[in-house]
Chain A
């Protein structure tokens, strides 16, 4: 009997996470031994657990894409890390594999929204920083 993808991930959590994390870290110029890579691993673990438990993934996905949104990578490559989990989840029936792939694709779309939100934050931060620098001038102008 083949398992549901959630069960397969639960049974092989550590090996899946290790593989996923190694693949994701290889996208970064610092490889697997940097604090960025370590943070990425923590967030991938949280994401994995949320997926398996059927919990909301917004928070781990947001934290993950926040790291990726300022890396020296094009968005397509940054978000490709999500698909790295697909070949790591073995022993699935064709049907279960399709379900799993669909779930990952759904995640990727969600991640795209989140990634863009962080990019928008960067632009907002630039504006806000300029305003804070001119705080007193703006206050006088608005008085």
Chain B
């Protein structure tokens, strides 16, 4: 095995991949939330569609999109690999475990939260991204995503699934944001406070912003 493969397949290397792909996906969340928040202009989707068109057709963005898909796949595959290895590391479980005395439940449940987000992602992409790209591929035309949002978010169950997805994302980020820096070796009293503050703020702001989108459409605040 070369030094490179050895490094990336070691326990620390697997965590490095988790950390880097996680931070990459965090940067994606910023872009995704910003562009989707254009619906709050409440201008019949004009600003949103303008930026949606840019994101859907610009060649640089479309190339980066391949990187994004790879980033998701790597984060998911590495997560499953780590979860399996971690389960195997303790073949006989404890009969009594008082883990709440030493750690937070969401820190211990990243695999579960990640799986919930993955299920949400399948539902979410089959609502918007997959039909839009399929249509673009077949006809060269983009779908009216704004109108699709207005239609899809009339269903209370869909809205509830999206809100539940945002909760999963909140807990996942609350541990993941800070954890990504720790895995990179960035843990020091000089900046721990700053990372913690930004991490908590990010974990709240992004999911709340996302959750407000289906909620606002359902209640007719955005139309």
> Real complex partners, A and B?
no
Residues on B lying within 8 angstroms of A by beta carbon are: none
